[in-house]
Structure 1
Amino acid sequence: MWIFIVTGVLMVFGYLILNRRQNHWTRKGVPQLKPTFIFGNFWPLIVRKLSSPELVQRMYNSGKDLRYFGIYQFLRPALMLRDPELIKQITVKDFEHFLDHVGFIDPEADPLFGKNLFALRGMQWREMRSTLSPSFTSNKMKYMFSLMSQNGEQFVNHFLQKNEDVIEVEMKDVTSRFANDVIASTVFGFECDSLKETHNEFYTLGKVATDFTNLRTVLVFMGNIVLPKLLKFFKVGFFPKKMTSFFERIIKENIESREKHGVKRSDMIELLLEARKNKHNDDDHGDLPDTGFATVEESEIGKNQKLRKCELTDEDITAQAFVFFFAGFETVSSLSCFIAYELAVNQEIQEKLRNEVDATNEKCSEQITYEALTTMKYMDMVVSETLRKWPNAIATDRICTKSYTIEPKTPDEKPVHLNKGDMVFIPVYGIQRDPQYYPEPERFDPERFSDENKKKIKPYTFFPFGSGPRNCIGSRFALMEVKLLFYNILSNFEIIATEKTQIPIRFSKKAINMASEKGFWLGLQRRVKTAVGLQCQGPRENSCLLSTNSLEHQMSKFWELEGMDNNVNFTTDDEACEISFVTTTKRDPDGRFLVALPVKTRPLDIGQSKRTAINQFKSLEATAVREYTGLFPNHRLLDQHVFRRLLHPAKEDGSFQPMRKAVLGLHGLYA
């Protein structure tokens, strides 16, 4: 009997205590969203009724016309900020009162994560930020550009080798492999080809580290919000021991090898080793263009040389390299997926970006440079609009490190006193989709970020890489990586929707980050850039190379002219066609494929043709030379290139389109 009474009293007492905690903001005179008992405002996320971005959007919209209001992460109160001026005040002007992020992982339980720049606090963070900052300047990005560029070429070459006109891919899978290889090369100092070696250990462990649908990851994440002291007591780390041991080993072996053999490489490990030896050069003097509008500006803390650590341990270097891997793997692959999706469903935008890619190719003779990439305005507009509509950081936070008061600005407000340890929550996703700041926020419109329009963007309503001194140090790196990827993709492919493409995107309710419910299935359709050889027999023999699309109209007209059909001998022997295709294909001195598409198998007897056909043939030759030399002034024309066989034309009706389609599908060799 007494047991039931005591139990009942304890339950009532416990309920009153917990209920009091969930009225924290009401007692302070701050409007708050009604919480669910124990679970706070995150109940829809727990029961998978809403995805993370949908929950943030709903909470943000619930506080309409308010500068701030209270929410609860389970039992923990947090103040959600809606007003851009207040966000600036807390993250920039009064940063000294909000120095840290919410504690996520105890350094003793997981040194690899607990000692990285994101997790560090106070003076430790100041010292590390100042130490690492010189490694992320524009000049240092150019330092790593060539390594990253090689990864971009490796990525597209993998798909160019496939004998398919349209290659259906799950973009999250392939772009995460690209991001993995870039990080392996530019951060850890070794080469990797994850598209070819699909189960390599580096990629496999990286995928586990960034799998936010994994039950263990979700439980540890939630546990650190609800019961952080309990997880600290049992020393529960965020990552499995096998993973941390792997990264510790490869960094240690890498450093030992470099120091033993005097190896120098243009990568992040080299820059961190320079920082350890205090040999950093502050060489960013504004002489190089930045990597984009979304690039964050380093604060005075990052530039303060007096704060720099004199000694970085191997553990420090490993922790920074790992978080760079952890953040870069997910951030770049996720951003790339949303860019690819938007280009696939907005073909006019893709065409405009593709034209800029082609124009850039011509200017730099198809050898992209850091300067050329960073001056691609429309590319930056597309990337910026993607970051607005689909920010990787759905929300960010700050912890009050010194007592602080938010003064009232409206008649309904009262002074809000925040104590040390109180949390503020910044709903990035909600703000960047607020029609007050971005009309028709669901519409993908890169013109928002044109030179004229980006000046109109209200400050502190666009911060995909965070705000203030604790912004993302790797924004330049991420932007350069993504732009290089799409420069390479669009140089060779068109991105199209397929039957498996989910339109519109629906968010996964299983993930704690922003992910598509059914993945990102899209098609890579080869661009018809194959060089076409035209053998011109008659008063003047000549041949040249040009884009197939440039002369498709003239070519079709040529075939249709009366009197020409009898002078063209088609072959339907597939084996002979394949042999001929291989033997008439080679590379020019610049490494471009010269794919010969023969016009006929025997000399054309012009005397048997009508005068209109002869004139059209001559006009075609002249147009070919003029257009090719105009497009590629640095390329030489190949004279007297004799073709022996016409490749399988699909049907003998003289039309150009079926012939082109059949020939291009034979071996997938493209310029």
Structure 2
Amino acid sequence: MVSLWLLMLGILSIYLWLRQRYSYFERHNIVHLPVSAWTPLGHLRKLLLLRISFGDLFHNIYADPRGGQAKVVGFFLFQTPALMVRDPELIRLVLIKHFNSFLNRYEAADAAGDPMGSLTLPLAKYHNWRESRQSMAQLFTSGRMRESMYPLMMGVVIDLEQYLQRKLGDRSERMLPLSKMCQLYTTDVTGNLFYSMDVGGLRRGKSQLLKKTKELFDPDPRKVLDFMSIFFLPQWTNLLRAKVFSEEYAQFMRGLVGHPRERSKGDLIDQLLHLQSSRPSSHYAQHPDFIASQASIILLAGFETSSALLGFTLYELAKQPDLQKRLREELAEAFSLTPTLTYETLVTLPFLRKVCLEALRLYPAAAFINRECTSSDPNGFSLQPHVDFVVPNGMPAYISILGLHRDEKYWPEPNRFDPERFDPDRSKDIIPMTYIPFGAGPHGCIGSRLGSLQLKLGLAHILRLCRVEVCEQTVPQIRFNPKTFMLESKDEIYLRFYRDKL
């Protein structure tokens, strides 16, 4: 009997504690999404059960009608109060204008137990992040992309064309899945550009680099626990022994970056070696896993976002034959005198540019981003005059880029693929900070220009050989995969490829 009373008392105490935690926004008069005091999971239950993707979770919070017209909406990561910022001016304030008060991303790895994860550019805290960012930014200048990267990428798109030719064989048409082709393409590009490595996945139809990368995303209970703690319980990563990379993947990347090979001058590894030599007193840069950690995260970021985006764009063009025809006519003129396009030609094709911008609106490279309040004021950062609230230090502020990009307040018929939104006569009316597919401000995606270039080049050479159409196995609409961090289709995307060389 005593045990039963103690159990009931314990349950009641937990309930009252959760109820008090979940009343935070009510006490501060902030519009918020309610949560039951009977759950300790806050608004993360569906995500933890792998029933919803990261992108959809934050999109749903952004678009929840209970938020009304509020500029910020409160919600809970487990019992931690967090803000969803929905107003473009407030988004500019957090990401750019008052960057110094929001220096870090909220997620974090355990520096002691997972040094390789904590060293990565996205998870490094500000002072360490700044060192890497300044050095790695030199890899992505327009001059480097034009002079060094583009010629290497041309070798990969020739392999891409040959891959398609082999798949078609002597047939005039064939139904093909998109994921493998797109993933081989992006991992081949990444290996060539950053590791001076001729991956050759498209030539062989398989790639060790791709295999190891995909293994990292295969969900299991341990990986789910690790990722959830890194993103939503960063203060617990030490206790939970959470790791960003599996030990097998970490060893693979250490071997990859340490393997002796002839390197392209200024590739990623060369650039990071230069950073180490120029900062001999930096404990961060001199860590033995520093180079492997940056190489690992560049591969993951480039593989998952770029491959999925190429597939999504082909899917949208297959559903709208008139748009595809217009794009192929533009490409036919560009390819009329040469089997390859110069860098200058590719980046200035107007309709290709609009198609890619619209693809990034519907399927942004970053579905959501966050910042942690790091104000120099011990009381936090005031949102006045926009909102009567002081963001306390340590509180995360989230921005749903997917939500912004599909908000009918800013984009009429937001779910329709319409490249003409980015016609010069119309794009001048786009409200600043409502289109940020790669994030914005100092923490914005370092590889955004390369990602766009890779998409344009892949599209140009696929559509140079083939036109694509929907088929009986094409999904009627994209559902995002709840088992991956970035936006990826839950279902394989099949299209019918017709041999139709320009």
Relative to the length of structure 2, the TM-score reads: 0.91
8 A contact 1:277–1:310 mirrored in 2: no
TM-aligned CA distance change 1:219 to 1:196, over 3 Å: farther
Of the candidates 155, 163, 170, which is equivalent to residue 158 of structure 1? 163
Provide the rounded CA distance (Å) in 2 between the counterparts of 1:252 and 1:199: 23
> Which position in structure 1 is the counterpart of 2:374?
401
> What amino acid maps onto 1:160 in structure 2?
Q
Instruction: Show CA shifts across 1:607-645 (max 9, x none).
Output: xxxxxxxxxxxxxxxxxxxxxxxxxxxxxxxxxxxxxxx
TM-aligned CA distance change 1:145 to 1:358, over 3 Å: same
Structure 1 residue 146 corresponds to structure 2 residue 120: no
How many angstroms does 1:380 deviate by?
A: 1.3
Structure 2, unaligned runs of 5 or more? none
Instruction: Show CA shifts across 1:484-507 (max 9, x none).
Output: 111111111112212111012233
How many angstroms does 1:21 deviate by?
A: 1.4
Of the candidates 130, 137, 153, which is equivalent to residue 133 of structure 1? 137
TM-aligned CA distance change 1:451 to 1:314, over 3 Å: farther
> Which position in structure 1 is the counterpart of 2:22?
22
TM-aligned CA distance change 1:493 to 1:199, over 3 Å: closer
8 A contact 2:217–2:484 mirrored in 1: no
> Which position in structure 1 is the counterpart of 2:297?
323
- Report the count of equivalent residues: 490
Instruction: Show CA shifts across 1:19-71 (max 9, x none).
Output: 21122211111111011421212234345554444433332222231111101
Instruction: Show CA shifts across 1:528-587 (max 9, x none).
Output: 55xxxxxxxxxxxxxxxxxxxxxxxxxxxxxxxxxxxxxxxxxxxxxxxxxxxxxxxxxx
Provide the rounded CA distance (Å) in 2 between the counterparts of 1:124 and 1:495: 46
Of the candidates 342, 347, 361, which is equivalent to residue 388 of structure 1? 361
8 A contact 2:106–2:231 mirrored in 1: no
How many angstroms does 1:276 deviate by?
A: 4.4
TM-aligned CA distance change 1:111 to 1:33, over 3 Å: same
Structure 1 residue 523 corresponds to structure 2 residue 479: no
> Which position in structure 2 is the counterpart of 1:85?
89
Provide the rounded CA distance (Å) in 1 between the counterparts of 2:342 and 2:369: 34
How many angstroms does 1:393 deviate by?
A: 1.8
How many angstroms does 1:104 deviate by?
A: 3.2
**Secondary structure, in 3 states, of the residue corresponding to 1:167?**
strand
**Secondary structure, in 3 states, of the residue corresponding to 1:326?**
helix
Structure 1 residue 105 corresponds to structure 2 residue 78: no
Q: Which range is displaced more, 219-228 or 16-25?
A: 219-228
8 A contact 1:341–1:520 mirrored in 2: yes
> Which position in structure 1 is the counterpart of 2:31?
31
Matches within 5 A, 1:492-571: 492-528=465-501
8 A contact 1:102–1:423 mirrored in 2: yes
Provide the rounded CA distance (Å) in 1 between the counterparts of 2:173 and 2:480: 26
How many angstroms does 1:115 deviate by?
A: 0.5
TM-aligned CA distance change 1:528 to 1:472, over 3 Å: closer
**Secondary structure, in 3 states, of the residue corresponding to 2:291?**
helix
> What amino acid maps onto 2:347 in structure 1?
T
Of the candidates 68, 79, 92, which is equivalent to residue 75 of structure 1? 79
Provide the rounded CA distance (Å) in 1 between the counterparts of 2:86 and 2:205: 44
TM-aligned CA distance change 1:357 to 1:214, over 3 Å: farther
Provide the rounded CA distance (Å) in 1 between the counterparts of 2:113 and 2:284: 26
TM-aligned CA distance change 1:147 to 1:313, over 3 Å: farther
Larger RCO of the pair (alpha carbons < 8 Å, separation 6+): 2
Structure 1 residue 336 corresponds to structure 2 residue 342: no
Provide the rounded CA distance (Å) in 2 between the counterparts of 1:309 and 1:378: 48
Provide the rounded CA distance (Å) in 1 between the counterparts of 2:474 and 2:245: 32
> Which position in structure 1 is the counterpart of 2:44?
42
How many angstroms does 1:265 deviate by?
A: 4.2
> What amino acid maps onto 2:298 in structure 1?
F
8 A contact 1:187–1:267 mirrored in 2: yes
Matches within 5 A, 1:274-313: 274-277=274-277
Provide the rounded CA distance (Å) in 1 between the counterparts of 2:320 and 2:364: 19
**Secondary structure, in 3 states, of the residue corresponding to 1:104?**
coil
Give the CA RMSD over aligned residues: 2.4
Structure 1 residue 357 corresponds to structure 2 residue 331: yes
8 A contact 2:139–2:266 mirrored in 1: no
> What amino acid maps onto 2:131 in structure 1?
E
TM-aligned CA distance change 1:59 to 1:7, over 3 Å: same
Matches within 5 A, 1:139-218: 139-142=143-146, 143-161=148-166, 162-211=169-218, 213-218=219-224
Structure 1 residue 251 corresponds to structure 2 residue 257: yes
Of the candidates 239, 243, 247, which is equivalent to residue 245 of structure 2? 239
> What amino acid maps onto 2:251 in structure 1?
S
> What amino acid maps onto 2:175 in structure 1?
E
8 A contact 1:75–1:226 mirrored in 2: no
8 A contact 1:395–1:425 mirrored in 2: yes
> Which position in structure 2 is the counterpart of 1:223?
229
Provide the rounded CA distance (Å) in 2 between the counterparts of 1:214 and 1:341: 30
> What amino acid maps onto 1:205 in structure 2?
K
TM-aligned CA distance change 1:383 to 1:11, over 3 Å: same
8 A contact 1:428–1:464 mirrored in 2: yes
Provide the rounded CA distance (Å) in 2 between the counterparts of 1:82 and 1:352: 35
How many angstroms does 1:311 deviate by?
A: 6.1
Provide the rounded CA distance (Å) in 1 between the counterparts of 2:293 and 2:47: 30
Provide the rounded CA distance (Å) in 1 between the counterparts of 2:42 and 2:310: 34
TM-aligned CA distance change 1:84 to 1:523, over 3 Å: same
How many angstroms does 1:196 deviate by?
A: 4.2
The alignment-based identity, stated in percent, is 28
Largest Rg, 1 or 2: 1
TM-aligned CA distance change 1:513 to 1:215, over 3 Å: farther
8 A contact 1:278–1:310 mirrored in 2: no
Provide the rounded CA distance (Å) in 2 between the counterparts of 1:235 and 1:49: 25
Instruction: Show CA shifts across 1:190-224 (max 9, x none).
Output: 1112234345422210112244x554433322233
> What amino acid maps onto 2:408 in structure 1?
P
How many angstroms does 1:437 deviate by?
A: 0.7
TM-aligned CA distance change 1:175 to 1:252, over 3 Å: same
8 A contact 1:41–1:72 mirrored in 2: yes
Relative to the length of structure 1, the TM-score reads: 0.69
How many angstroms does 1:264 deviate by?
A: 4.0
Provide the rounded CA distance (Å) in 1 between the counterparts of 2:501 and 2:365: 34
Q: Which range is displaced more, 162-171 or 317-326?
A: 162-171
